[in-house]
Amino acid sequence: MKYFEFFFSLIFMISICSCKNSHDADLQNNLNNGSEIPITFPNFFYGADLSYVNEMEDCGAIYFDNDNIEKDVYEILANKGANIARYRLWHDPKWTNYSNLSDVKKSIRRAKENGMYVLLDFHYSDTWADPGQQTIPAAWLPFVNNVFRLASELYDYTYDVLVELYFLQLTPDIVQLGNEINPMILQEGELVWPIDWTRNALLLNSAIQAVEDFSSQTNKKVETMLHIAQPENALWWFEQATKAGVRDYQWIGISYYPQWSEYSVSNIQQPLKNLIENYNKKLMIVETAYPFTLDYVDSQNNILGTSAILDEYPATQEGQLNYLTSLSEEVKKSGGLGIVYWEPAWISTDCNSAWENATLFDFSGIPTLGIQFFNQD
């Protein structure tokens, strides 16, 4: 088995080197040589996934500060202490005009103009990727059973996106290589279990290598993250990934929604600490949220309902803030370095929302008490 994995890796690296050489020649024609620019991160990230903002604004969303003055939502969040913005990127989502590369460019520019770091979330799909689906982009479907060609496509796409962003001065600081990749990535149809780690490790390492090569060629360090839904799944997933030879990433990303986890806020510290210490990685909760009410203002059912409510944290603005404050404290105690709130600005508009009771803005577009969690240091 070890010989087989070595042979696969060797063949893959030969193919990647040929792709890399052609990329490097183009890139070097446009670069100033110099030493790699180090990243200086804050002690703790207080983040917001703002992937829906452009769409919501096109649907008529308006946001206000606590003085009831209409302001840009990025300005509001940055003034409250948000220091990193997260964005999902779909490969070629023909069903929507959002979360494609053009849309993400607009979003990253807004984040940088407001002094935020950027976490770019490659879904490696034309639609949502999560524990229930990891659907290969349509453009790559012909290669779904050709792992070497697929690894090459994955490398090229990751590298090319970063280069395109680089020349627009929109380089992200951290890239997430897949979204909630509990299952094997880049699948067709019904999910295959168990994970084929020879295939999965080869694909993930190709994406990691693309980011490493980009950083080397541009002298601009971009860190990499692997993202799993729920701490209990991260425990087995990273053990298996490590044994399979997945290497050289810097961050563990976790989605944490208490209603779908076996860990409560009060006992989440230990599994997070185990992940950090066992794999010598930095860790961030890159998705969490909590309702400030169980009411609704549109016809779309809300995702977080009564089953999301914990006894210690009622569905009130105070309960939302206390949940975020407690979770932040536990993450810090574990050695974790950040929390990203998922879609705090997905408020109800003419387009409706399945999240309006779990945003950080009330039904009038005014910040909830929960927004204070961004300013805890």
Instruction: For Cα atoms 150, 152, 155, give the angle at the middle one, nearest 5 degrees.
Output: 110
Place of tokens 């994955």: 154
The tokens for 317 are 């603005």
Give yes or no: 75 in active site: no
Catalytic residue among 180, 330, 343, 356: 180
Q: Phi and psi for 256 in degrees, rounded to 5? A: -135, 110
Nearest CA-CA partner of 92 in 145, 153, 180: 153
Is-contact 181 228, C-beta < 8 A?
A: yes
Q: For strand 45-49 and strand 84-89, is the pairing parallel, antiparallel, or unpaired?
A: parallel
Adjacent-strand bridge partners of 285: 254, 339
Can you spell out the DSSP letters for 103-146?
A: HHHHHHHHHHHTT-EEEEEE--SSS--BTTB-BPPGGGGGGTT-
What are the distances in angstroms from CA 354 to CA 54, 295, 351? 16, 12, 10
Is-contact 333 323, C-beta < 8 A?
A: no
d(CA 361, CA 39): 32
Nearest CA-CA partner of 310 in 289, 333, 296, 283: 289
Tell me which amino acid residue 329 is. E
d(CA 13, CA 9): 6
d(CA 337, CA 325): 14
Give yes or no: 287 in active site: yes
Is-contact 233 181, C-beta < 8 A?
A: no
Catalytic residue among 57, 188, 223, 287: 287
Q: Which residues are known to be catalytic?
A: 180, 287
